[in-house]
Structure 1
């Protein structure tokens, strides 16, 4: 396991270096802007990309590549960086849509940019400016993801198709999240669909497939990776949902009980609503309501049900790695370790 951890750490370091070079190159393309405006891009996009995150999705890209027979790190780095840039864009947009105040323990980009507008005494609505500027930064990150992928090599076409599919599924899943939070759809089944498309495929399956495409892997290996990824992706989102309700904000970098305050359509909340029929979960506006909702979720068995479901899905994912014809031993160990990392409890 130590060897796998060391290899994964090395991959993260190399991704960070490649990202730093890429971002520097792309920022230089903005030379038509004033230095102060370029500084905003460096501070609120480039620094955001480089300054945090577990590089989980690039890790899945790399180990999908290794599972498919890839060996040298360099050919897969562009794809790993592309996925991380898409992730940065998704976080920026997610914070705008959720009206989130913070991210990774700091003010969310749209909040910081709105404050800049106020401090500078600019015309117009500061909040609107912050949201618009953060949206443009997200669009820039998506453009840079394509620029990163251009260095993929002979399998660029297949890689671009997969990156496009990843983005389409993530956008569709995000819309379902918005619609369900607004009340257009309710229940546990819609929450599972959201988990699959907003997070599961986007975090696990498509990054694995992207690495597999760079290595020109076999159809059998791709099927094995999907059999692992689909349950793990759902488990990952369930863990994120549970942590979002119960974990310490100092660990998550998000406000306490954010999903409860926003009325998110998660499996945890859908289960609790079905078990209790309580209106308490439908109109939470402050931390007192968050505390009461947490107690209700525990008492009705929703937390235990979510924990059991996470464990079952993680076991299903790891077991799938042993299906014939199998994948290289080191890749199998790394993916099993990543399954544990994705589902570990943060409280």
Structure 2
């Protein structure tokens, strides 16, 4: 199955699952309609990388095509929706995928209705609840995927570990932002648990476990998936500072306003002069940072060599993943698909 076909089938499975649950929510109250609208908007975008890696983990271990694996893989998009909604609340992000973030949608609803009280608090609370609903639905979609009980039992431990790791990674990310002392090593720890494992390694392991993979297959998928996951997030870090808003769907330099202590920033600080470090520390995390301020910080990151060093790290981790894939004991179809996904994950502009 092609990557385009996988995405189409994942989209269809997601839509069908949410559609089956609309009547139950509307039966509770029509006031829940804005929750569904916000979810529809969020699920309408996305690269569907996690379902794709889950599917190819399944195929790598000899699994055959079928609606069950597509539904199980698609459930990861509901988990991702939960993570994104909560992440946007914690970061006070205004946009997601080129649209207002969920908490901003609910905040606008509060204001439009002229309700008393704090619109921001309502928006944040409503978004947290929507994220919780997505988390619950991710497990429900997995359990009702149509895969047999033995397969789901093999996959459940991986699914649980994946959810635990991403929560821990998110906390570590917040912690580094609060400490403001991140170095390359601590920033990479956040990358590993918040993104690399969650985006690529664990979805591969989930698909492989569902198919009953041998231990050597899971180990080989780690050799490919973990370094690729790191390279993927490093590319995301670069886009968060230098990306085109028309392509990324987020304002220019949003990561700088949010004060994210990324590997890119850590590399720049590691190489910065006293004046350059002072400029970074002074402006990083300023929510009022304007376009000239973004340009100033971009220039500092480039001039220190931080950007070049980050690009070199992306290339190094990508080559490590590609080398591991060459000798992995997996099906040839999966090897070819995963090679293509590696390039797509690290050369993207969104």
> TM class by shorter-chain length?
over 0.9
Q: Secondary structure at the match of 2:295?
A: helix
Deviations 1:90-111 (A, max 9, x none): 1111110000011111111101
> What residue is the counterpart of 2:108 in the other structure?
115
> What residue is the counterpart of 2:119 in the other structure?
126
Q: Is the 8 A contact 1:212 1:222 kept in 2?
A: yes
CA distance in 1, matches of 2:95, 2:191: 22
> What residue is the counterpart of 1:253 in the other structure?
249
CA distance in 2, matches of 1:46, 1:216: 34
Per-residue deviation, 1:46: 3.1
> What residue is the counterpart of 2:40 in the other structure?
46
CA distance in 2, matches of 1:46, 1:139: 15
Q: Is the 8 A contact 1:27 1:38 kept in 2?
A: no
> What residue is the counterpart of 2:171 in the other structure?
175
Q: Is the 8 A contact 1:263 1:283 kept in 2?
A: no
CA distance in 2, matches of 1:184, 1:176: 12
Per-residue deviation, 1:17: 0.9
In 2 relative to 1, CA 117–346 (structure 1 residues): closer, same or farther, beyond 3 Å? same
Per-residue deviation, 1:75: 2.5
Where does structure 2 lack aligned partners over 5 or more consecutive residues? none
> What residue is the counterpart of 1:3 in the other structure?
none
Per-residue deviation, 1:346: 2.4
Residues 198-237 of structure 1 mapped to structure 2, 5 A cutoff: 198-237=194-233
Deviations 1:299-332 (A, max 9, x none): 11111111111011011101101225x2111110
CA distance in 2, matches of 1:176, 1:30: 34
Q: Please say if 1:28 is aligned against 2:23.
A: yes
Q: Please say if 1:330 is aligned against 2:323.
A: no
Query: Structure 1-normalised TM-score?
Result: 0.94
Q: Is the 8 A contact 1:263 1:282 kept in 2?
A: no
CA distance in 2, matches of 1:195, 1:141: 23
Per-residue deviation, 1:185: 4.5
Query: Structure 2-normalised TM-score?
Result: 0.94
CA distance in 2, matches of 1:48, 1:244: 19
Deviations 1:258-315 (A, max 9, x none): 1111221111101111111411112323122211111111111111111111011011
CA distance in 2, matches of 1:190, 1:73: 41
> What residue is the counterpart of 2:7 in the other structure?
12
In 2 relative to 1, CA 202–135 (structure 1 residues): closer, same or farther, beyond 3 Å? same
CA distance in 2, matches of 1:48, 1:184: 31
CA distance in 1, matches of 2:112, 2:278: 41
Among candidates 298, 306, 309, match of residue 310 of structure 2: 306
> What residue is the counterpart of 2:292 in the other structure?
288
Q: Is the 8 A contact 1:170 1:198 kept in 2?
A: yes
Among candidates 91, 94, 98, match of residue 87 of structure 2: 94
Deviations 1:108-165 (A, max 9, x none): 1101110110110112100000000011000000111111111332221222221111
Per-residue deviation, 1:236: 0.5
Aligned length: 339
Structure 1 vs Structure 2 CA RMSD: 1.4
Per-residue deviation, 1:345: 4.8
Where does structure 1 lack aligned partners over 5 or more consecutive residues? 1-5
Q: Is the 8 A contact 2:71 2:141 kept in 1?
A: yes
Per-residue deviation, 1:23: 0.6
Q: Secondary structure at the match of 1:217?
A: coil
Q: Is the 8 A contact 1:26 1:144 kept in 2?
A: no
CA distance in 2, matches of 1:253, 1:300: 27
